[in-house]
Chain A
Amino acid sequence: MSEAFRMHTTARKALLVALFVFMAACLSGCWDRREIEEIGFVAGLAIDFDSETDDIMVTVQIAKPFAIGRGAPGGGSVGERPFWTVQAQGKTVLDAVAQLTQKSPRPAVWAHNEMVVFGEAFARHGIGDALDFLTRHRESRLRVQPLVVRGFTAAYAAFTTESELNPIPSDALQNTARAAFSRLSITTMTNINEVLQILQTDGVEMLLPAFTLEPVSPEAGTFEGELKRESIAYTARFVGSAVFRQDKLVGFFDLQETRGRQWIVGSAGRAVVVVPHPQAPGQEVSLQVTTSSRKITFHDEGAGPSFRVAVDAAANLGDSDSHIDPLDPEIWTRLEHQLEAAIESEMQSALRKAQLEYSSDVFGFGEYLYRRHPEVWARLGPNWDQVFSTVAVETSVNAELAGPGLVFRGARVER
């Protein structure tokens, strides 16, 4: 009897455990379930500052998957744009984003967002709030790329651009920025993760890629929530970079200054530098820089602290207006000197602007001191902003012209 009873209780226990497991699966089940076609994938985010209401205006581009599938790109005038643009205002970024829910039938999913565009007014106001939102949000990725619109066009106007080659503006902008960075070194590439690190580090300021929006039609700038193909109003062009102090925009570098900063920081990739022809006056030669490296040293004797930046660059002959004899060592040396001078002037102009105009250490000299000469940093660090503006930076460039390209004599033959 007792044996049977014990059997009975073990069987009941086993049944109870099985029931609990089953209930755990069922009750917690489907908790996070979101069918893929019922969510709005955010493809781009633009943040503007509305000076009238003192509000933050958030514009979000949400992908319309069904429109992508139907071959919208290049579909002519009948094509439907493969995304939906929606706008909301709020006191903070998250407040504004929350307002979006009132308008969007599909909950916004941020995991696939790759770009955030800041309007100039908002950036001057400080982008800290936006960065805070993007880093604290569970779905948003740290690889989101921040961009700044130069000029007084609203950032959301970036969503009214369209590239013939890429139907999604955020994608097109990103790819263009990447090409400008890697092929010409005239802009910077960064993401929220790097920006966050820079903001948390003393002695370095951030530099974000900047572009302008140029109107393509007189009635540009109309914006009515949803965008039709006819409302394409702007084209985007990268024009250098935006200089920040802390999280506030202080000014812009043009293309040359941006590249000057890239030489100093050592992240310049390839570049095209145009120099005067050494023999034919008024003619130009373009040189294709292939690789470069830099070395920074710090000196603290005599006339106060100073940095020396030595850049090594290798280049090829790109093209020339007039004949160049590659066997003439004199021409070769003069070209190299001219390249050195061009690079050096770019560096100097970037340094001048950063030190005198913006007093923003976008080169990370302070961080260099903090890493390499902590004792100096302990002395200079507390008021680095003033020190940076006055610190002496010597630059020197050693350029090597590696070769004439694929052909020896080329099309410009001296007769």
Chain B
Amino acid sequence: MSVFVSREISENEISIKSAFGYSTDLVVRIIRSGENPRFSVLIAHIDGLVDKDLVARSIIRPIGMKDTATIEMPPSPAYIYDDLRNRLLESSEVKEATRMADVLLHISSGDCAVIVEGVDSALICSVRSWMTRTPENPTTEPAIKGPKEGFTETIRVNTSLLRRRIRDPRLWIEETVVGEVSKTDIAIVYLKGIANEKVLQEVRERIGRVKVDSLQESGQLEELIEDAPWSLFATVLTTERPDKVAGSLFEGRVAILVDGSPTALVVPATFLQFLMATEDYYQRFTASWFIRLVRGVAFLVALALPSVYVAITTYHQEMLPTPLVLSIAAQREGVPFPAAIEALTMIFFLEVLLEGGVRLPTAVGSAISIVGALILGQAAVEAGLFSAAMVIIVALTAIASFTIPLFSLSNTVRILRIVLTIVSGFLGLFGVAAVLFGLFIHLAAMRSFGIPYFEPLAPVVLPDLKDAITRAPWWAMKQRPELIAHDNVVRIGDDQKPTPPRSPQKPSPAGTVGQQRSSQQKQQKGNASNPDEQQSSSDQRPSSLGPATQKERQPRSRRKSRR
């Protein structure tokens, strides 16, 4: 097989066909057209990846209609080639390729190759069209309040979903190909001017380093580019939600889309992000504030409750109030296993139930809950194999772990829970504390693409604490995460906290307050008293956001001078 496109059309035909091993879905057609002289054109594409109608209409028909007889001088092949490229091919996107490998890549990507006899270059027309899934409600991250669309398996659809959310040319998309054989499209998406250039460079380098034969899912890429490959914690955020990716871009993060995967990767990731649901940003902040606290406590419960229970009941009985200790002792009466073994067995049952629930088709899924919850749970207690308290503890743990919004973290918690329970069976609360201590050291030591993983808790970044364990109202979150977007942190204009209009009838008490306010607001308040000028004041509002957006573009001078 020759390296370049040959001038001989039959040679090209053989090259392409043999490269694909005469696969049945490869369509190669040679059209002889025109009079005086006749010229030959080879058309190659893969059935199923192209819009056949479009091929017939925009490629084959123009070639057939090319009437060389009307031209006085017999046209050269190069003339025909140029004419096809510049005028005749009715395709929105026409590229050229001279290397045979590129031609083959385009054909297998769903483009149509057009090769004119006597020209050692191929025209590539984009006529891609294949079965795609429409964006559906993201199943792994459902939201009560918020957009109901999720990424699909097609990278082009996914980038379009992002474009629709950010209508600004500063949304930049860099595409590369990863996978020696699969040749999977990878898109690095970021907001130019907000994304940290160092992080971006790191992303490019790490992706460029990847050498694999194929890439089926973004999870594979995640394992190949993450910071801590041996850690139980994921240092790359994964999401199915375009709105979450868009929000992350505005925080200065970089998204990586992988063709064929409905899951986007977002870096740098911080630990607390794994405890945040997208919905937190759409609910009113009072609700989010509370729900995030609940989720934080639930995280600790999911992680440590069985181990703390085991430790206290077998080593530190004096820590419990007397009625409780007697109640637990009464339930444990006759249970044949030590509490640690009991807990581990129950946790194993729980894991089996969860895994069974995931693997089962939904139609028989409800059987799992009946068999698992009713029969196993109740019968085990009644048979005296397990204590009711342990069933309550493990059930509570399971429910608490469902509150963790991201699956990767709840998987981590599932493993750590078992580790903690084993250690607590050996060493009691001392062991639990030791493991948790080690865990915190580990979390604080990790980095994700150069950003401390436990930020803003360690190191403490005061402004970022507004969106950490709890969430501040939107009008108070004036900054992007400082360590991530450190050149461009201001995101919200001044005085965004809404206030009701002040009554013009009572100027005197308002006057004293107004003196403390900015002169601009005072002017607006004065305008509000005059109905004619009220219009103009509301006209000023959008333009007053102008300086804020300008601030976005330029780094704040104070910040610059400090560094």
Binding site for B on A (CB under 8 A): 25-26, 28-30, 32-37, 39, 41, 43, 63, 65-66, 68-69, 109, 111-112, 114, 139, 141
Contact = CB atoms under 8 A, between A and B. Distances in A.
Nearest to B428: A32
B339 interface: yes
14 contacts: A25-B431, A29-B427, A30-B425, A32-B315, A32-B428, A33-B315, A33-B428, A34-B314, A36-B313, A41-B325, A41-B329, A65-B326, A69-B330, A139-B318
B35 interface: no
Contact of B339 (A29, A35, A39, A109): A35
Nearest to B426: A29
The residue among A35, A109, A139, A141 with the most chain B CB atoms within 10 A of its own CB is A35
Interface in B89-146: none
B544 interface: no
Contacts of B315: 32-34
B317 A109 contact: yes
A208 B383 CA distance: 49
A28 B330 CA distance: 28
Given A41-B317, A43-B322, A68-B327, 19 more contacts: A25-B423, A25-B426, A25-B427, A26-B426, A32-B315, A34-B314, A35-B338, A36-B325, A36-B329, A36-B339, A37-B329, A37-B330, A65-B330, A68-B326, A69-B333, A112-B317, A112-B325, A139-B318, A141-B318
Contact of B331 (A30, A34, A39, A69): A69
B332 interface: yes
Interface in B307-337: 313-315, 317-318, 322, 325-335
Nearest to B315: A32
The 4 closest A-B pairs by CB, nearest first: A111-B318, A29-B426, A69-B330, A65-B330
A33 B314 contact: yes
B427 A28 contact: yes
The residue among B328, B332, B335 with the most chain A CB atoms within 10 A of its own CB is B332
Interface string B293-315: 00000000000000000000111
Nearest to B318: A111
A63 B326 contact: yes
B314 A35 contact: yes
Contacts of A68: 326-327, 330
A69 B328 CA distance: 10
Nearest to B342: A35
Contacts of B318: 109, 111-112, 139, 141
Contacts of A112: 317-318, 322, 325
Nearest to B317: A36
| B: contact size bracket | 20 to 34
Contacts of B426: 25-26, 28-30
Contacts of B338: 33, 35
Contacts of B425: 29-30, 33
Main secondary structure of the interface of B (DSSP, over half): helix
A112 B334 CA distance: 22
B427 A35 contact: no
Contacts of A29: 425-427
A65 B317 contact: no
Given A25-B423, A29-B426, A33-B338, A39 B326 contact: no
A141 B334 CA distance: 29
A22 to B, nearest CB: 10
A37 B427 CA distance: 19
Nearest to A69: B330
Interface in B126-170: none
A321 to B, nearest CB: 44
Contact of A66 (B317, B322, B333, B431): B333
Interface in B332-354: 332-335, 338-339
A168 to B, nearest CB: 9
A141 B425 CA distance: 26
Contacts of A43: 322
A114 B339 CA distance: 27
Contacts of B423: 25
The residue among A36, A37, A111, A114 with the most chain B CB atoms within 10 A of its own CB is A36
Contact of A69 (B314, B317, B327, B335): B327
B338 to A, nearest CB: 6
Contacts of A69: 327, 330-331, 333
A141 B317 CA distance: 13
Nearest to A63: B326
Nearest to A82: B326
A68 B331 CA distance: 10
A322 B339 CA distance: 66
B179 to A, nearest CB: 34
B318 to A, nearest CB: 3
A25 B431 CA distance: 9
Given A63-B326, A68-B327, A37 B332 contact: yes
A188 B538 CA distance: 74
A26 to B, nearest CB: 7
A32 B315 CA distance: 6
A41 B331 contact: no
A34 B339 CA distance: 10
Interface string B435-468: 0000000000000000000000000000000000
Contacts of B431: 25
Contacts of A39: 317, 329
Nearest to A67: B330
Contacts of B335: 37
A65 B335 CA distance: 14
A37 B327 contact: no
B327 A36 contact: no
A34 B314 CA distance: 5
Nearest to A171: B322
Nearest to A37: B332
The residue among B317, B329, B331, B333 with the most chain A CB atoms within 10 A of its own CB is B329
A21 to B, nearest CB: 10
The residue among A37, A41, A63, A68 with the most chain B CB atoms within 10 A of its own CB is A37
A43 B322 CA distance: 9
A274 to B, nearest CB: 38
A47 B427 CA distance: 36
A28 B318 CA distance: 21
A65 B331 CA distance: 8
Given A25-B426, A33-B338, A35-B339, A66 B330 contact: yes
A65 B314 CA distance: 16
A65 B334 CA distance: 12
A108 to B, nearest CB: 12
A340 to B, nearest CB: 43
A283 B431 CA distance: 70
B369 to A, nearest CB: 28
Contacts of B428: 32-33
A146 to B, nearest CB: 18
A371 to B, nearest CB: 35
A109 B318 CA distance: 9
Contacts of B327: 65, 68-69
Contacts of B339: 35-36
Interface in B381-433: 423, 425-428, 431
A69 B324 CA distance: 11
B425 to A, nearest CB: 7
